[in-house]
């Protein structure tokens, strides 16, 4: 997928302070892969503090924690995405895929109506 290809980004709002979107999903995926909240945040260009804040929000938002962490020490610390976290991530990615398929014709119609890239004034 090139940078110019249209893409659908979904944010689910469960309430004023309760939402799930592409950034949190990516953070969960990277934590699962790296085994580290700090490492996942670094890969995303996010501060350690911000990555931890997002994990705390997600853990509080759902009935069971999405990420479990252990402090450093002789064996080192780490983090893992829980079974609930995997279910949340799978449901979110499934919704994205369903929306992509359901919206293909609409996205194509919008794309056909776009101005040429060179026609857009700078800074707009």
For residue 73, the domain's CATH number is 1.10.10.10
For residue 13, name the pLDDT band (cuts at 50, 70, 90). Answer: very high
CA distance 119 to 75: 57
Question: Which residues form the domain of 109?
Answer: 12-114
**What is the Cα 95 distance to its own chain's centre?**
13
Predicted confidence at residue 70, as pLDDT, reads: 85
Residue 84, domain member (yes or no): yes
Over residues 45-59, the mean pLDDT reads 96
Q: How far apart are CA 37 and CA 80, in angstroms?
A: 9
For residue 77, the model assigns a pLDDT of 74
Rounded to an integer, the average pLDDT of 21-34 is 97
**Predicted model pTM:** 0.84
Is residue 77 in some structural domain? yes
Number of domains in the chain: 1
Which DSSP state fits 114?
Answer: P
């Amino acid at each position: 997928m090139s940078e110019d290809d249209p893409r659908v980004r979904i944010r689910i709002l469960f309430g004023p302070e309760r939402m799930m979107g592409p950034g949190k999903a990516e953070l969960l995926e990277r934590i699962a892969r790296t085994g580290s909240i700090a490492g996942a945040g670094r890969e995303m260009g996010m501060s350690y503090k911000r990555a931890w804040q997002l994990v705390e929000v997600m853990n509080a938002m759902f009935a069971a924690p999405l990420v479990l962490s252990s402090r450093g020490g002789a064996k080192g610390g780490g983090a893992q995405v829980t079974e609930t976290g995997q279910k949340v991530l799978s449901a979110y990615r499934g919704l994205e895929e369903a929306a992509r398929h359901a919206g293909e014709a609409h996205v194509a119609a919008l794309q056909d109506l776009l101005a040429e890239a060179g026609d857009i004034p700078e800074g707009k």
